[in-house]
Structure 1
């Protein structure tokens, strides 16, 4: 089944997509890749589909309320935000613009990965410090400040569950790394 998007739906998606992420306000929901679709139904009812970064994401309620507020401010009377869990969100859904903004904000963006279209995702736990001569599976985590690939993991969790805390071994600055999912 092929669905077409109307000009009204495109405009409403632009508005909903412009909402900043509550945990990473440097990114919009569109750039983060969690906004999946906007549909206009009979009677002016608008349905917005969101996929959280992970099932227990505490920011989902705030995202939904912010989308409802923005659409109400633009004349939409009835807004329903629906959580869609499949396909699951992955860091591959972050736009190039979102990755650029993360880097400029001082957060190392997730590394690009070669991923199977479907199926389980392997999670590997390894040493915290890169051993010279042993490459990381997805490539080095580069420092967002100086660009060095010489970094170490300080903590697997940082200010949010989606991020790890790392330190650059060259410039010595600590930084968040948005983990690959």
Structure 2
């Protein structure tokens, strides 16, 4: 067995994907966010990775696709295909629990659990990621990315972003 064949195990590929940062939130990986859905290794060593973007119109899709492909090629895959799927649609419930804490430490309020798999039009009670107060107000329904809202904490006076629950 060659070193390349040894490296191309599903576990090695998942470990490599654990190091691919979300291009918009570098403290979490694409696997932390629950975007990577499947890894397949063909008999010829070709790898197919399937991921679900957080939003279908995400402007970072090409960066995510390229980064996933590069991480797998770095393991020595003979060929890599990175496919995206919208079924089932991504949900904030797929974000790993430890990643939620890293989001909070980074200054982004993690999302509440999604209800019924639908985008919530009414914002849930949001806690300030800096001082933990619920005395916050939304200042913008649309943040720098489609998946976040803008808030200001009336306790510590700090602005912050909060994930929408989807």
Distance 2:130 2:70 in 1: 36
Judge conservation of contact 1:51–1:83 (CA < 8 Å) in 2: yes
The residue matched to 1:69 in structure 2 has which SS?
helix
Distance 1:124 1:62 in 2: 29
The residue matched to 1:103 in structure 2 has which SS?
helix
Considering fraction of residues, name the structure with more strand: 2
Q: Which runs of 5+ in 2 are unaligned?
A: 1-7
Residue 29 in 1 paired to residue 30 in 2?
Answer: yes
1:11-66: CA deviation from partner (whole Å, max 9, x where unpaired): 21221232001111111011111011110012111000110001111211111111
Structure 1 residue 122: Cα displacement:
5.7
Distance 2:15 2:100 in 1: 19
Task: Output aligned runs, 1:76-91, within 5 Å.
Answer: 76-91=77-92
1:119-163: CA deviation from partner (whole Å, max 9, x where unpaired): x626434xxxxxxxxxx6x4x200000000110000011121111
The residue matched to 2:17 in structure 1 has which SS?
helix
Q: Which runs of 5+ in 1 are unaligned?
A: 1-6, 126-135
Judge conservation of contact 1:103–1:144 (CA < 8 Å) in 2: yes
Structure 1 match to 2:3: none
Structure 2 match to 1:4: none
The residue matched to 1:102 in structure 2 has which SS?
helix
Distance 1:82 1:152 in 2: 39
Structure 2 match to 1:10: 11
Residue 161 in 1 paired to residue 158 in 2?
Answer: no
Structure 1 match to 2:135: 150
Judge conservation of contact 1:19–1:67 (CA < 8 Å) in 2: yes
TM-score normalised by L of structure 2: 0.90
Q: How many residues are treated as equivalent by the alignment? A: 159
Distance 2:119 2:30 in 1: 26
Root-mean-square deviation (CA, aligned residues, Å) is: 1.6
Judge conservation of contact 2:37–2:50 (CA < 8 Å) in 1: yes
Structure 2 match to 1:124: 121
Distance 1:45 1:142 in 2: 45
Structure 2 match to 1:48: 49
TM-score normalised by L of structure 1: 0.82
